Chains A and B, each alone.
Chain A
Amino acid sequence: MTKLANNCAIAGITRAIGLRSDQDKKTPLQLVVEACSQLMRQTGVGRNRIGALFTGRMPRSYMTLQYSQSLVNELKIAPMFSTEVTSHGGGALGTIELAVLALNAGLIDYALCVTGEASPIWIDMIGGSANWEADLQFEAPYGPTTPALYAQSACRYMHECGITAEQMARVAVENRRWALHHPYAAMRAKGPISVADVLNSPMIASPLRLLDCAPWFPGGIASAALITRAEIARDVCAEPAYIAGFGQSNTHEWVGERMGTWGVGPFEQGPSMVRTGARIAAAQAYAMAGVGARDIDIVETSVPFTYANLLMLEELGFCAEGEGGRFVEAGGVDFDGGLPFNTTGGYLSFGQSGQGLYLLKEIVDQMWHHAEGYPVANVETGLVHGHGGPLACHSVMIVSKQPTC
């Protein structure tokens, strides 16, 4: 197999943010184009050099068939490849993974990877959300909400690993501390919270209380990344980030199907409501990059509930299986002195809007000292985890300031 590690780099990554409160409300296409405009001007790589366009999934608030072609059309580019990369939230990093394959094969020199969403500006997310997360025919008729679907895994995780509500609350408290420093974090103005605040917040879907759940980001975010081979990255960029390793694992669709999947991926030993493809994706990424969890300086994850953050710390290798609760309890992700974890405030306090590549941008920004929120010192290597479809699709990417191997 061709060596993939560190052969490609992020030669630029930009973002555009629109808020529900803006006078001129923006569509996701407007935001995406704004991010692309910044990227093309910043790198000087014009539309005639874009060899591939990979977009994340079609935004809920801009549903059009052949979504990627809307962007090809707007930018007047003519890439060899143009497609949406779906697998729920896993597709965001998937855009870059496919770009690396095409770049490494020498088929193209520059790939444009974009994600964008602005649903909270345009759609009733509370009412509509469960219809996106549940099987419409077999689950939605019973009245689940998105938290109630995720709660099925929380219920088993607490039962199988002895995770407590206090341990879960702790990650909400620490995420909030990062959010207090980020100008766009949805919960910034709400101030700090305590474990008691989380435990006393209204029950939403047991065992998940209000502060166990991610709020909606009050707007939309689009991100655009220019990916190229490492040997040409320096021609267009002074601050590249090497793509050291990546992995992906996609297992099932809908909560009710999770326990009907066995013999593949994380369910090799039988189905589970707890174990996920994140461990597979992480193992692939670490192996490719030639690093381990102890080499990671910063972590961003896209999971929208407290318990799932503890679980992902296990799955991504930052603590042993079943130890997520104790790891967090012992200060493992404390704002003061812990692993820098969800440094924009995370889904729990930054809010969620289908962040996509914005999570990756946070790591690159921290690496090169342009963080929008609280700065993390000495970031050499970072890990981002994108996920979707109630813990069904997982993608992991490790980026580094220097080649890792």
Chain B
Amino acid sequence: MSSSTEATVADWSAGRHVMAGELFLGLYQPSPETAGFWEGVARGELLFKWCAACARAYHPRRIICPQCSSTQLAWRPASGEGKVYSFSEVHRAPTKAFGRGAPYTVGLIETAEGVHYFCRIVAQQGAAIAIDSPARLDFRVLETGQRLPVFVVSAEGAR
């Protein structure tokens, strides 16, 4: 996949090509149920879907609340607080582009909202990523040029 979020945010219909090696698998694009999330990312915000009746946050692309079956869900900014739930350090990257950043860590962050958010986990210098390490939301430009929400484990937080 290519292209930065900022460049495509204005026109969701442009889509992105998904390749398997040299084989074109199809057009993949954010759609109306997820466009709000990517508009948030473009503004530097991490948004979760929120059911006000249940006071419960969801991610990604929740259209219906599994608890009360309401479809009246709204986008709401995440607090940005969380801790590492699971992680894996990727040594063999899926593409050449990602390979430039390897090894890097992907994993699930247990956010303060209760959402388990799959993302890149970044360790500040002197910090180590471990289960339960406190982590904070930030944004980074990844190897593909895409600017995305990540969670950062800080040296102080890890102690």
> A403 CB to closest chain B CB, in angstroms?
41
Interface flags, B83-94, vs A, CB<8A=1, else 0: 001111111111
Closest chain A CB from B8 CB (angstroms): 12
Structural contact, B60 and A137, CB atoms closer than 8 A: yes
Say whether A256 contacts B90, CB under 8 Å: no
Given A127-B95, A155-B88, CB of A136 within 8 Å of CB of B60: no
**Contact A260 to B88, CB < 8 A, known contacts A123-B21, A127-B20, A137-B34:** no
Cα–Cα distance between A132 and B90 once the two chains are bound (Å): 17
Q: When chains A and B are docked, how far (Å) is the Cα of A299 from the Cα of B58? A: 38
> Which listed residue (A126, A132, A143, A147) contacts B120, Cβ 8 A?
A143
Whole-angstrom distance between the Cβ of B82 and the nearest chain A Cβ = 12
Type the 1/0 row for A167-195, where 1 means its CB is closer than 8 Å to any CB of B.
Answer: 00000000000000000000000000000
User: Which residues of B lie under 8 Å from residue A136 when comparing CB positions?
Assistant: 1, 18, 28
B66 interfacial by beta-carbon distance below 8 Å:
yes
Given contacts A143-B98, A152-B107, contact A128 B91 (CB under 8 A): no
Inter-subunit contact B20/A256 (CB<8 Å): no
Q: Max chain B CB contacts within 10 Å: which of A124, A203, A260?
A: A260
Question: Does A130 have its Cβ within 8 Å of any Cβ on chain B?
Answer: yes
- A136-B28, A256-B118 known; A128+B59 contact, CB < 8 A: no
Contact of B92 with A205 in the complex, beta carbons under 8 Å: yes
Q: Does B25 contact A (CB under 8 A)?
A: yes
A155 to B121, CA, bound (A): 15
CB neighbours (8 Å) of A206 from chain B are: 87-89, 91
Q: Flag A120-152 by CB within 8 Å of B: 1 or 0 each.
A: 000110111111100111111111110110011
Please name the residue on chain A nearest to B93 by beta carbon: A143
Quick check: is A40 within 8 A (CB to CB) of the other chain? no
CB of B42 to closest CB in A, whole Å: 14
**CB of B131 closer than 8 Å to a CB of A:** yes
Chain A residues, CB < 8 A from B98: 143
- How far is B122's CA from A386's CA once the two chains are assembled, in angstroms? 35
B20, B93, B117, B144 interface centre (most CB from chain A within 10 Å)? B20
A127's closest neighbor in chain B, by CB?
B21
Question: Which residues in A have their C-beta under 8 angstroms from that of B58?
Answer: 260
Please measure, in the bound complex, the distance between the C-alpha atom of A127 and the C-alpha atom of B21, giving whole angstroms: 5
CB contact under 8 A between A127 and B118, given known A155-B88, A259-B108:
no
Instruction: Out of B25, B88, B118, name the residue touching A131 (CB < 8 Å).
Output: B25
Is the Cβ of B90 less than 8 Å from the Cβ of A145? yes
Q: Find chain A residues with CB under 8 A from B10 CB.
A: none
Number of interface residues of B (CB under 8 A): 48
| B148 contacts A by Cβ under 8 Å | yes
Which residue of A is nearest B38, CB measured?
A137
Please give the distance in Å from A200's CB to the nearest CB on chain B: 14
Q: How far is the CB of B78 from chain A (nearest CB, A)?
A: 14
Most buried by B among A124, A137, A147, A262: A137
Q: Which residues of A sit under 8 angstroms from B87, Cβ to Cβ?
A: 152, 155, 206
Residue of A nearest to B121 (CB): A142
Residues of chain A in range 24-75 having any CB-CB distance to chain B below 8 Å:
none
CB distance from B144 to the nearest CB of A (A): 7
Interface-centre pick from A138, A139, A147, A262 (highest chain B CB count, 10 A): A138
Which chain A residues border B20 with CB–CB below 8 Å?
123-124, 127-129, 131-132
Which residues of chain B from 103 to 128 have a CB within 8 Å of any chain A CB?
103-104, 106-108, 110, 115-120
A234 at the interface (CB under 8 A from B): no
B94 cross-chain contacts in A, Cβ below 8 A = 126-127, 129-131, 143-145
Q: Answer yes or no: A156 CB below 8 A from chain B CBs.
A: yes
B86 touches A152 (CB 8 A): yes
B13-37 interface bits toward A, Cβ cutoff 8 Å, 1 = contact, 0 = none:
0000011111101001010001000
A202 within 8 A of B: yes
Please name all residues of chain A whose beta carbon is closer than 8 Å to the beta carbon of B21 when the two chains form the complex: 123-124, 127-128
Docked pose: A258 CA to B115 CA in angstroms? 11
Q: Which residues of A contact B28 (CB under 8 A)?
A: 136-137
Does B85 contact A142, Cβ atoms closer than 8 Å?
no
Question: B148: nearest residue on chain A (CB-CB)?
Answer: A141
**Residues of chain A at the chain B interface (Cβ within 8 Å):** 123-124, 126-132, 135-145, 147-148, 151-156, 159, 202-208, 255-260, 262-263, 271, 273
What are 11 A-B contacts with C-beta separation under 8 Å? A128-B21, A137-B61, A142-B148, A143-B106, A153-B86, A156-B85, A205-B92, A206-B87, A255-B108, A260-B58, A273-B108
